[in-house]
Amino acid sequence: MSRNLSGESRYGVHSIDHFALEVPALAKAEEFFTLFGLEVSPEAHRLALRTVGDALPWSYIYQGPAKRLAYLSFNCFPEEYEGLVAQIKGANGVTPAEGGLPYVSPEGFWFHDPDGNLMQLKMGPKRTPSGVPPQREVARRPGERGSVPRSQVRQVHPTRLSHVLLFTPDVERAIGFCREALGLRLSDRSGDLVAFNHARHGCDHHLVAYAKSSARGWHHSSWDVPSVNEVGLGAEQMRNGGYGEGWGTARHVLGSNYFHYVRDPWGSFAEFSADIDFVPAGTTWPAGNFPPEDSLHAWGPAVPDYFIHNSEA
């Protein structure tokens, strides 16, 4: 558990439990996310996405008329649940979700954020890391090869969900919602263009991020892999499977992670990510406000125009 900072909300979520999307074709989603390296399980009226060996789904994919976020589910500690419900209810622009709406179940507390996104708060396990995971870079050894032949490369499988990024018409309001309702802390931002927020209980540099747009929308999910080598290999396996559009391979400034974004069939992205900055519980991260030219990537290819396009606007 983490001590509160002066002036911040008392309680805070610790993890994303899962996210749910609607897409026009479940068969296409099954193809894309299986190629991405996730375990995709067909269930009644939806797909469940898991990382290899993880019993709990990180995502559900539903059939819908167009791609959109169906809902976003957060976990908290049991002793903070009632306090967080009251905290969320009292936050500006938040409205409780009425029973009978699609996806709203008896479990937890359901609400709409100021942009109208459906969200769930529930008691659940901490799925964010509590420390920096070991990297799996191949050590250089004299007289030995550092790589394997291309024909022997194994499929890349992400180990966990790292974060999600949403479009919002009001980045400042989104920061306030994260702070006042969810108890997240600002990590870094670039004016009113983009903002990154982390959980106070030990978390990657960002758990939920927001980018400026004329409307709300889903931009990407980010999936952790053990090293930059897997980032590059993941990009290659997606290209070989027919998904060559995206951005990367490169290295971010805000978060410091190596990345490759793969454009999905609906105009949003799934990201291979490695070595992201980590904020331990009890640590105050020095949040900065960076100019746009310093906020995207330290090295790598130029950002394609379609990367910042909100297909839902």
* Cα torsion through 258, 205, 202, 105, rounded to 10: -100
Is 269 in a helix, a strand, or coil?
Answer: strand
pLDDT above 90 coverage of the chain, percent = 85
Q: Is residue 19 part of a domain?
A: yes
C-alpha 46/C-alpha 6 separation (Å) is 43
Total length of the chain: 313
Q: Is residue 297 part of a domain?
A: yes
Is residue 136 very low, low, confident or very high in pLDDT (cuts 50, 70, 90)?
A: low
Is 48 in a helix, a strand, or coil?
Answer: strand
Q: Is residue 3 part of a domain?
A: no
Q: Is residue 230 part of a domain?
A: yes
Q: Is residue 298 part of a domain?
A: yes
Q: Is residue 224 part of a domain?
A: yes
Q: Which tokens is 100 given?
A: 């009978």
Residue 239 scores a pLDDT above 70: yes
Mean pLDDT for 158-178 is: 98
**What local confidence, expressed as pLDDT, does residue 151 receive?**
75
Mean pLDDT for 161-184 is: 98
Q: Which tokens is 299 given?
A: 């090295």
Q: Which tokens is 278 given?
A: 């980590």
Q: Is residue 313 part of a domain?
A: no
Phi-psi region at 32: left, alpha or beta (left = phi > 0; alpha = psi -120 to 50): alpha
C-alpha 254/C-alpha 56 separation (Å) is 29
Q: Measuring CA to CA, which residue among 75, 72, 22, 65 is closest to residue 47?
A: 22
**What local confidence, expressed as pLDDT, does residue 149 receive?**
78
Q: Which residues pair with 95 in a beta bridge?
A: 112
Q: Is residue 245 part of a domain?
A: yes
265 DSSP assignment:
T
The tens digit of pLDDT for each residue in 273-313 reads: 999 999 999 999 999 999 998 899 999 999 999 999 999 99
Sort strands 160-168 and 68-76 into parallel, antiparallel or unpaired.
Answer: unpaired
Strand order of the sheet with strand 39-43? Answer: 39-43, 46-50, 59-63, 15-23, 68-76, 118-123, 109-112, 95-96
**What local confidence, expressed as pLDDT, does residue 193 receive?**
96
Q: Which tokens is 90 given?
A: 């009292």
C-alpha 82/C-alpha 7 separation (Å) is 20
Question: N- to C-terminal Cα distance for the chain?
Answer: 39
Q: What values do phi and psi take at 87, rounded to 5?
A: -65, -45
Q: How many CB atoms lie within 10 A of CB 64?
A: 15
More confident residue, 57 or 8: 57
The tens digit of pLDDT for each residue in 36-76 reads: 999 999 999 999 999 999 999 999 999 999 999 999 999 99
Query: How many structural domains is the chain composed of?
Result: 1
Q: Measuring CA to CA, which residue among 186, 64, 60, 174 is closest to residue 116?
A: 174
Residue found by looking up tokens 């793969």 in the block: 262
The tens digit of pLDDT for each residue in 79-105 reads: 999 999 999 999 999 999 988 889 999
What pTM was computed for the model?
A: 0.94
| 249 prior amide bond cis, ω within 30 | yes
Looking at residue 119, which CATH number applies to its domain? 3.10.180.10
Query: Domain residues for 180?
Result: 15-129+157-308
Cβ–Cβ < 8 Å for 110, 104: yes
